[in-house]
Amino acid sequence: MIVMASPRLPGPVRQLLAALRMLLVLTVLVGVAYPLAVTAIAQLPGLRHRADGSLVRAADGTVVGSSRIGQPFTDAAGRPIPTYFQPRPSAAGAGYDPTATSASNLGPEDVVDMFDDPATPGDESRRSLLTTVCGRSRAVGQLEGVDGRRPYCTPGGVGAVLAVFHRDPGFAGPVVRVVSVNERCPAQPFVATYEGVRVECATPGGDYAAGQRVLVPGPGRGRDNPVPPDAVTASGSGLDPDISPAYAYLQVNRVAGARGLTPATVRRLVEDHVRGRALGFLGEPRVNVVELNLALDRLGTG
């Protein structure tokens, strides 16, 4: 029980007791009554479905997820299932895990991979954001049959980053040694020579930080790449249910082929699922992959 303030108590103690009682009153009011009241209102028809998580059902009536939460369309080995539209890459747990929502949190200049050094205990390997993007672009390009090469990416799908060592300090004098830092030996570096010096592959545990970092642009395109940006970058939540219309259209031929449907049929389905900007200016045009794939399943294998 809370002791009511007695006038005999000194001022600071009275104030602390008043503070405690105030906190308890607020806890009951905004900590219990308020959320329960909102939950009660949320039971109204029209609201309840949304308050419960906008769950979606397959044709047989079983709940298969939420239309607002993306889900993976991969097989047990993590390979994309060709009969389904693929969502964006996800950094939430092992992918689209709502109990571990997250972004990659890797920065724009994260371009150097770490390799596991067998000489030391533990696995130090870590793929840089650049290599991750290059690898995804290459994989999507291969899956969809388009040229997914991007700037600063090697044909092998890692970051095209050279460590260039000069004879004199301050990156001055002739080049004496060049290492392609993201290509682990015995890989063949993506360029044979740089300024007349043979390019080496990288050895695990090698420290190339002293070299000048040179990024090789290469022939790929960033903007207007056939593989759109959302296909090679992870979302903020790791649960993004949407992809860009461009990425959806890119997948039409593959999905149609795998399902034995005509591309025109699948394309029409995508068109029906493209949502434009709300009121013409809010957000970006997008396609909900969960809803699209559900609709695809309902279409059957015409």
Partner 1 sequence: MNTTTAGVVFAASLAVALGLTYRPFGDYLARVYTSERHLRAEKMTYRLVGVDPDTDQRWSIHLRAVLAFSCVSALFLYVFLRLQGRLPFNLGFDGMAPGQAFNTAASFVTNTNWQSYAGESTLGYLAQMAGLAVQNFASAAVGISVAIALVRGFSRSHTDRLGNFWVDLVRTVVRVLLPISVIGAVVLVAGGVVQNFHGVRTVSTIVGGGQAITGGPVASQEIIKELGTNGGGFYNANSAHPFENPTVWTNWLQIYLLLAIPFALPRAFGKMVGDTRQGLAIVSVMAVLAITGVFLVNGFQLAHHGTVPTAVGAATEGVETRFGVSGSATFAAATTLTSTGAVNSAHDSYTSLGGAVLLLNMMLGEIAPGGAGSGLYGMLVVAVLAVFVGGLMIGRTPEYLGKKIAAREVKFAALYILTTPALALGVTAVAMALPGERANMLNSGAHGLSEVLYAATSVANNNGSAFAGLTANTAWWNTVLGISMLLARFLPVVFVLGLAGSLARQRTAPVSSGTLPTHRPLFVGLVTGVAFVVVALTYFPAIALGPFAEGLH
64-103 binders of partner 1 (CB under 8 A): 64-66, 68-75, 81, 84, 88, 92, 96-103
Looking up tokens 């994309």 gives 80
Contacts for 64 with CB less than 8 Å, ≥ 6 apart: 56, 57, 58, 294
Smallest distance from partner 1 to CB 115, Å: 15
CB-wise, 185 or 246, nearer to partner 1?
246
Per-residue contact string for residues 143-182; x = within reach of partner 1 by CB under 8 A: -------xxxx-----------------------------
Using CB under 8 A, which residues numbered 239 to 268 contact partner 1?
239-244
Check binding of 119 to partner 1 (CB under 8 A).
no
CA dist list (Å): 285 to 124, 245, 288: 40, 7, 10
CA dist list (Å): 88 to 147, 217, 242: 18, 25, 8
Q: Which two tokens stand for residue 114?
A: 């770490």
d(CA 114, CA 42): 49
* Residue ranges in 53-115 assigned as alpha helix (H): none
- For partner 1 (CB under 8 A), the number of binding residues is 114
CB-wise, 237 or 265, nearer to partner 1?
237
Among the listed ranges 17-25, 116-124, 181-189, 194-202, the one in contact with partner 1 (CB under 8 A) is 17-25
- What element of type H or E holds 101? none
Sheet holding 242-243, edge to edge: 242-243, 286-288, 274-275
Smallest distance from partner 1 to CB 177, Å: 21
**Helix 129-144 crosses helix 252-259 at what angle (to 10 degrees)?**
50
In the chain the first and final C-alpha atoms are separated, in Å, by: 71
From candidates 39, 142, 188, 193, binder to partner 1 by CB under 8 A: 39
**Which bin fits 231, alpha (ψ -120 to 50), beta or left (φ > 0)?**
alpha
Smallest distance from partner 1 to CB 3, Å: 10
Among the listed ranges 164-172, 191-199, 255-263, 293-301, the one in contact with partner 1 (CB under 8 A) is 293-301
Check binding of 15 to partner 1 (CB under 8 A).
yes
Smallest distance from partner 1 to CB 186, Å: 26
Check binding of 37 to partner 1 (CB under 8 A).
yes
Among the listed ranges 9-17, 189-197, 198-206, 252-260, the one in contact with partner 1 (CB under 8 A) is 9-17
- What's the CA dihedral at 232, 237, 242, 244 to 10 degrees? -40
Among the listed ranges 140-148, 186-194, 253-261, 280-288, the one in contact with partner 1 (CB under 8 A) is 280-288
d(CA 144, CA 248): 11
Check binding of 34 to partner 1 (CB under 8 A).
yes
Per-residue contact string for residues 179-218; x = within reach of partner 1 by CB under 8 A: ------------------------------------x---
Check binding of 222 to partner 1 (CB under 8 A).
yes
From candidates 1, 10, 12, 300, binder to partner 1 by CB under 8 A: 12
Q: Which two tokens stand for residue 95?
A: 């992918």
